[in-house]
Amino acid sequence: MEITTRSLWTLVHGMGFGALYLLACSGAIALLYLRFASAGQTHASPSGDRFLGIYLTAMAALAWLTVLSGTYIIYPWYRATAPAGTTNLAGYPRALLLSHPATQQWHLIGMEWKEHVAWLVPIAITMAAFIAIKYARDLRDHPQLRSALSGFVVISLLAAGIAGFFGAMLDKNAPVDGGQNIQLVQGEKQ
Partner 1 sequence: MSTQFAVRQEIAAVVTNGPGAAAILSAGIGSFAVAIFAIAADKSPFVKNLFVFYKPTGALSGETTVAILLWLTTWAILNWLWRRRNLSLPRINVIALVLLGLSLLLTFPPIGDLF
Note whether 45 binds partner 1 by CB under 8 A. no
Closest to 24 (Cα-Cα) out of 175, 142, 161, 119? 161
The 10 Å CB-count burial string (b at 16+, else e) for 77-87 is bbeeebeeeee
Residues contacting 85, CB < 8 A, separation 6+: none
Q: How far is the CB of 149 from partner 1 (least distance, A)?
A: 8
127 binds partner 1 (CB under 8 A): yes
DSSP state of 179: S
41 or 190, CB closer to partner 1? Answer: 41
Tell me: does residue 38 bind partner 1 (CB under 8 A): no
Cα 180 to Cα 151: distance, rounded to the nearest angstrom:
43
- For the chain, first and last CA: distance in Å? 15
Which of residues 51, 55, 130, 165 is near partner 1 by CB under 8 A? 130
Point out which span in 3-11, 14-22, 66-74, 83-91 binds partner 1 (CB under 8 A): 66-74
Beta strands in the chain (DSSP E): 2-4, 181-183
Taking the complex as a whole, the smallest distance from the CB of residue 164 to partner 1 amounts, in Å, to 14
- Contact between 29 and partner 1 by CB under 8 A: the answer reads no
Asked if 140 touches partner 1 (CB under 8 A), the answer is: yes
- Cα separation, 108 vs 105, in Å, equals 5
CB 190 to partner 1: min, Å = 42
Interface with partner 1 by CB under 8 A: which residues?
40, 67, 71-72, 75-76, 79-80, 108-109, 112-113, 115-117, 119-120, 123-124, 126-127, 130-131, 134-135, 138, 140-142, 144-145, 147-148, 151-152, 155, 158-159, 162
